[in-house]
Amino acid sequence: MKRIDKDITKASTLPGSFYSCEDFLRKVKKDIFEKSWQLITHESNIKSEKDAFPFRFLDDFIKEPLFLVRNNDIDCFSNVCTHRGNLLMEEPCNIGKSIFCKYHGRRFDSCGKFLSMPETKNMQDFPSERDNLSRVSTKKWKQFIFASLGPSFPFEQLINDVEERVGWMPIEDFVYRKDLSKEYTVDANWALYCDNYLECFHCPFVHKGLSAVLKHQDYHIELFPYSSLQVGVGKDENDCFDLPKDSVDYGKKIAAYYFWLFPNTMLNFYPWGLSVNIVKPISVNKTKVEFRAYVWKEEKLDLGAGASLEKVELEDEEIVQSVQKGVLSRFYEHGRFSPKMEKGVHHFHCLISDFINR
């Protein structure tokens, strides 16, 4: 695939074939997602010492079985026994003194080190490092735990700009609300969903309700190495953040901070709290989107840009699914970027082309 020009005034978008070609999806899986940081869960799911949380790295897209465990820090290991490949755990649990494989009785400590197995007499060069569980990179930010199979860039380059801008909020105290959290299946390529998120160019045409509470003319986006921020400026200060004086935005009517983390995570901060959106590929033209709600101020749930999120989501789904049909056209090759309104999309496309052309 041809690289995206770094000059947005000259650049063209990703080709239409990117959103419909199985070969591109395989490249994305290998060159981007297997090297990405994925938000796995929040800390309250592993509260106590030796609590373990099994998961697959990216659901059915990258099915690698892993588990988190609380030691002095939160660690992540392969969930596969090094003897014959049995899954070690299926459900969250407390491992107690050791991890036990129910197939042949092999045991590991909570740091993944092999401890014992029956009937090992006369085995040569045993145990070795290969008998320990493989360790996987993990990082915690506030209450959120991220993991990566083989990170291509440091986690700090992903999250530091978020911390600098909104770290004044007590994010570690936000409360997960299952009743406000939902999953959606979208009949479109994962990257089309991200494209749509990364610009508000479409907002006056697609989101009449959202546009009624935001000042479209004051919309702006800030770019960082592996992330971006869209700042939503509100019309009514009662629906906006009460910003601290040391915030760079102090004195402005900020209704929302929309952070995107490469390649597929959105952190949407509203005066009521945080909506985390994780975009998970299922196939070349099908995507699962997880909405996870973390509430800070419940009395603000139905106010401003953070209200009616499901309505906005359904509007986005409708337009993205229409675009998915359109990019299949033999007459569509690629488009051009609006230098003012589509900086975030251009940044995203540049990262994609850089990663798969390495």
Q: Does residue 32 fall inside a structural domain? A: no
209 within a domain of the structure (yes/no): yes
Which of 114, 141, 168 is the C-terminal boundary of a domain? Answer: 141
* In contact, 295 and 174? CB cutoff 8 Å: yes
Query: What pTM, to 2 d.p., does this model score?
Result: 0.95
Shared-domain flag, residues 252 and 117: no
Q: What is the CATH number of the domain that holds 230?
A: 3.90.380.10
From 330, 345, 335, 325, select the one nearest 285 (Cα to Cα).
325
Domain identity same for 125 and 55: yes
% the chain with pLDDT above 70: 100
- Tell me, yes or no, whether 231 and 348 share the same domain: yes
Q: Which residues pair with 214 in a beta bridge?
A: 234
How far from 55 is each of 52, 66, 290, 297, 326, CA to CA, in Å?
10, 5, 15, 30, 36
Q: Please give the mean pLDDT across all residues of the chain.
A: 95
Of the candidates 75, 106, 141, which is a domain's last residue? 141
- Percent of the chain scoring above 90 in pLDDT: 88
| Residues 130 and 177 reside in one and the same domain | no
Do 129 and 197 fall within a single domain? Answer: no
Residue 352 located in a structural domain: yes
pLDDT digits (tens, 9 = 90+) for 141-164: 999 999 999 999 999 999 999 999
Q: What is the mean predicted confidence (pLDDT) over 28-52?
A: 97
Q: Which tops the pLDDT comparison, 188 or 239?
A: 188
**Amino acid identity, residue 43?**
E
The answer to whether residue 108 sits within a structural domain is yes
Residue 73: its pLDDT value, please? 94
Q: What are phi and psi of 44, to 5 degrees?
A: -65, -15
Residue 189 shares a structural domain with residue 329: yes
- How many whole angstroms separate alpha carbon 332 and alpha carbon 17? 9
* pLDDT score recorded for residue 308: 85
Residue 94, CA distances (Å) to 45, 113, 134, 168, 308 in order: 11, 17, 20, 33, 39
Structural domain boundaries, residue 136: 38-141
Instruction: Quote the CA–CA distance of 101 and 358 in Å, as a whole number.
Output: 40
> What's the CA gap between 92 and 121, in Å, rounded?
33
Q: Which of 141, 173, 192 is the last residue of a domain?
A: 141
Residue 28: inside a domain: no
**In a shared domain, residues 227 and 270:** yes
Q: Residue 12: what are its φ and ψ, rounded to 5°?
A: -110, 155
At 90, which CATH number?
A: 2.102.10.10
One domain, residues 70 and 167 = no
Average pLDDT (282-292) is 97
pLDDT of residue 203: 80
The domain tally of the chain equals 2
Distance of alpha carbon 26 from alpha carbon 310, whole angstroms: 31
- The reply to whether 301 and 191 lie within a common domain is yes
